[in-house]
Amino acid sequence: MNRVFRFIGGVFVAFWRGLDTARRIVINLVFLALVILVLGLLFPRAPQVPDGSALVLRPAGTLVEEQTLDDPLSLLRAGQVPAAEASMGELLEAIDAARQDPRIKALVLETDDLQQAGVAKLAELRAALQDFKASGKPVYARGERFTQGQYYLASVASEVHLAPDGFVLLQGLARYVTYFKGALDKLGVKVHVFRVGEYKSFSEPFTREDMSEKDREATRDLLEALWNRIRDDVADSRPKAAPHLGEYINAYPAVLEKVGGDPSRAALEAALVDRLTTRDEWRDYLREHVGANGDGKEYRRVSLANYLGAVRAEREHEPDKVAVLVAQGAIVDGIGGPGTVGGDSFARLIREAREDERVKALVIRIDSPGGSAWASEVIRRELEVTREAGKPVIASMSSVAASGGYWIATGAEKIWAAPSTLTGSIGIFAMFPVLAEPLDRLGLSVDGVATAPLAGAFDPRRPLPPTAEATLEQGIEFGYRRFLQVVAQARGMTPAEVNTVAQGRVWTGEAAAKLGLVDELGGLEEAVVAAAERAGLERYEVVWPRAGLPPVERLLRSVAETAAGTLAPAAGTDAPLARALGALRAEVEELMRLNDPGHIYAHCLCGAP
């Protein structure tokens, strides 16, 4: 019996030692992998670009001007995965470089993971792809299925492939707004709104239960202009599809009925796509048209990240820089957080670029519906000071540069916009919520003393007194006159002339150019070239300064993103209810960002469609 126990004990000890050894090996391997990762991040090695490669673009998530920097420590603590974002600047930079690069033979575009993008951004990317094609190099695009935005981008390709079980969805443009007045009335919350501008509709969700006729009129005009551009662009890129577009869009059920309900066949017969291919057939097609790699199993290719790493390493020694500063999101007073433009923090970024001797010119890339009037003026003035210091400043408008976004643009010497940019919205409003009634329902009362009429007047627990109402009313009247003066001075117009195109109305970039609010129609690349020409530069490097995290936190973020990469949910898988609730939350969050010290805002309710 003792021998049996000794034998069992020996087996257990041996097993435990083996398990402990395996544990040490695994821990050491994980530690070694982490060390390699950190060294790779600290000392990156420039990738190589094989001759005859295809540049592969797989934009994922939301198409943005600047990727959001979340706090890496909070990501690690909460176990969150950063939301996928595709950088507009990186895509444009890579396409432009590949167009001139003899090592790049073709471009491959796969759109399945692209979720949200404004029409102006997609149109600008399409234009870049058209320039790439004009150089004599083909663009091959494929989707498992195509949403409207995905197809609008892919339709410019030399050849478009669709999965046999996929579809092409062209459904038009729409704008539906959530109106909070009914809920606020039930809660007893009264929102005081003061506005200047016949078309200034941002405050309507808090004061109405439906869309006003003025807002409906302006919105219809905008959507029709954008939709006509989308249809025209698709028809130009796909001439064989042009005769079928009207029926495909307006009578889709009848189109499906003709082909037995098969959506992929409907897209093929409407000439919206060229081929129906499975994933393996797509790989075989690319291997045939681009060329096989060393082992012959895949086509010769280079990813966006590796390609940018290579081309940037090749030109990083240029002494002269053109700085692109991105103003993306709502404009807020102070520092601002992720997804916002802080008046103080962005002004500091401009000042740093102005004081950097290597930076010879600035491009302000604006993708903002506006926000704090105070912060907008802080940023505009900093741009004006930069111009007075002798450095050229060019504004480049992305999907939205309206209200406070347009206010910022007036600080530049020239304004570039895409034809589909939403801009203008020159108007002012003030909004102040009063919580006196809901507090009264809860049995809470507020009482006290004050030494002057305005002392405590802006306490949301108390009804807004007439003195406060008069103060806000006069404040927005002055703010509107100030806005008109700023635009008039920048555009060489009189305030009365500006007023005729102002009143809070939103215009497309194309219309704004005709009205004198925009100088040139074009994208970011054209704006950068214009800035370099103004500075007299022939050779230069484009840099993207940003008010970001310290180096240690950037490193932690990179580690967190890499570690979480395999856990990231596939793009485009949100359920309809989740999307609807997410949109509602985004609207509430936008309201919570309003922090102007005078409660005065230059903001448009015009998120890019």
Q: How many CB atoms lie within 10 A of CB 92?
A: 19
Check: CB of residue 436 under 8 Å from CB of residue 463: yes
Residues in the chain: 609
CA distances to 291, 309, 393, 409 from 533, in Å: 39, 26, 11, 19
Of 138, 146, 90, nearest in space to 114 by CA: 146
Task: Please identify which residue in the block is written with the tokens 């215009």.
Answer: 507
Q: What CA–CA distance (Å, rounded) separates 369 from 601? A: 11
Segments of 7-146 assigned E as strands: 53-57, 61-64, 85-87, 104-110, 114-116, 139-143
For the four alpha carbons of 556, 562, 563 and 564, in that order, the dihedral sign comes to positive
Query: 200 catalytic, yes or no?
Result: yes
The SS3 of residue 319 is coil
Check: CB of residue 431 under 8 Å from CB of residue 203: yes
Pick the catalytic residue from 200, 321, 360, 391: 200
The 8-class DSSP code of residue 593 comes to T
Residues 6+ apart with CB under 8 A from 27: none
Pick the catalytic residue from 368, 403, 420, 425: 403
Check: CB of residue 377 under 8 Å from CB of residue 601: no
What are the percentages of helix, strand and coil residues in the chain, rounded to 5? Answer: 50, 20, 35
Longest pairwise C-alpha distance within the chain: 107
Residues 6+ apart with CB under 8 A from 219: 175, 211
Query: 297 catalytic, yes or no?
Result: no
Q: How many CB atoms lie within 10 A of CB 432?
A: 16
Burial grade of 169 (CB within 10 A; 0-12, 13-18, 19 or more): middle
Structure tokens at 420: 């589909």
Q: What CA–CA distance (Å, rounded) separates 14 from 258? A: 72
Structure tokens at 94: 């890579």
Segment holding 321, helix H or strand E: strand 321-328
* Pairing state between β 506-508 and 422-424: antiparallel
Q: Count of alpha carbons within 13 Å of 575, Cβ hemisphere only?
A: 3
Residues labelled as active-site residues:
200, 403
